[in-house]
Amino acid sequence: MSKSEKRYEMIPEGDLFRIRALIDMPEYGVKIGDVGGIIEVEQNLAQFGNGWICSTSKVIQSAVVVDAYIRSGSTVSGRSHVVMGVVSGSKILGNTKIEADIQIHESIIQNCTLFGDGEIRESKLSNCTFNSNVQFFNCNIHAELSLFSRGGGTLSLRHTEINIEEGNIIHSVDMERVQLRTKTFKVEHRLFMQDVHVQYRDKIWIVRVGVNLRTEIQGERNNPIQLKGEELTIDDSIIKGGMVLSGNFEIRSSILMGMHQINMNKAYIQDTKIIDCVTIKQTLPRVQVIVGKAFEGDMTIDYDQQ
């Protein structure tokens, strides 16, 4: 490629190079002769692309920037590949792939794949895959496998700390002020969580296949919902209020509202409405089933036989 075909030239600066514009780039406020950031080799910033690195940022090692804007002291390194978007005050590390018009601010992204449009702020992500619209704010996410919203929808995480193994969410999901530590976590279709603490080590399923996806879990900031235990399944349910759930059980097609505490072992509630102040405790070694019933008002159900 001749100099007349290039977008920038390389000026030696120590062992690295600083870029200098050979053409105007009005989308970045750059004019011919303006200096930009630091690169290690020409392959770090594609000459055929529309990307730019500002003077306080750098792209080094085997990282590649194509059509993205790297600014405000950002670093892109490792084998990262940033095709589109804006990276501001952030570090893109490892083998990260960013292939959509996403805005990343004050974050650390390592070994992630981001296909979705959206915005990430004040977050730390590692070993994650996001395939749809994303909105992160003040998040700390670590996962060996995490697949969010493939093929469309909206993913929004705010004030959220997530530590996931084997996580899988498909289609839209909203989480706010949520702490999630889990193994084998699966959600399909619409999900809304607010002020929720979920802690599972094996199998939690919130599944709804079809239309009218109404799954909604909403707690109070001073008294958040907590989901604890193993083998929990929730299907087409609305859960609101300061509820604590623990044990091995299923909840299907249910509405649970108010201040509840439900502790179960090898039991499930199906097609059940539970409203107001209800305490259900069940420690029997055999399976207990509550099907097609509606509880309203103050109620306590206590099984503690051994």
281-300 pLDDT, tens digit each: 655 544 444 544 444 554 44
pTM of the model: 0.71
Check residue 304 and give its pLDDT: 47
**Residue range 214-241: mean pLDDT, rounded:** 65
**Residue range 87-100: mean pLDDT, rounded:** 95
**Residue range 93-105: mean pLDDT, rounded:** 92
To the nearest whole percent, how much of the chain has pLDDT over 70?
A: 55
Check residue 242 and give its pLDDT: 61
Check residue 4 and give its pLDDT: 75
- 3-state SS, 100-146, equals CCEEEECCEEECCEECCCEEEECCEEECCEECCEEEEECCEEEECCE
On whether the CB atoms of residues 172 and 190 are closer than 8 A, the answer is: yes
Positive or negative, the CA dihedral 267, 268, 273, 277 is positive
To the nearest whole percent, how much of the chain has pLDDT over 90?
A: 33
Instruction: Answer whether residue 87 shows pLDDT above 70.
Output: yes
Instruction: Answer whether residue 208 shows pLDDT above 70.
Output: no
Check residue 151 and give its pLDDT: 53
Check residue 72 and give its pLDDT: 96
DSSP calls for the chain:
--GGG-SEEEEEETTEEEEEESS-BGGGTB-TT-EEEEESSGGGB-SSS--EE-TT-EE-TT-EESS-EEESS-EE-TT-EE-SSEEES-EEETT-EE-S-EEEES-EEES-EE-S-EEEES-EEES-EE-SEEEEES-EEEESSEEE-TTS-EEEEES-EEEEEEEEEES-EEEES-EEEEEEEEEES-EEEESEEEEESS-EEEE--SSS---EEE-BTTB-EEEEESSEEEES-EEESS-EEEEEEEEES-EEESSEEEEEEEEEEES-EEESSEEEEE--SS-EEEES-EE-SSEEEEE---
Check residue 261 and give its pLDDT: 66
- Least confident range from 81-90, 91-100, 221-230: namely 221-230
Q: What is the mean pLDDT of the chain?
A: 76
| Radius of gyration in angstroms for the set of CA atoms belonging to the chain, rounded to a whole number | 25
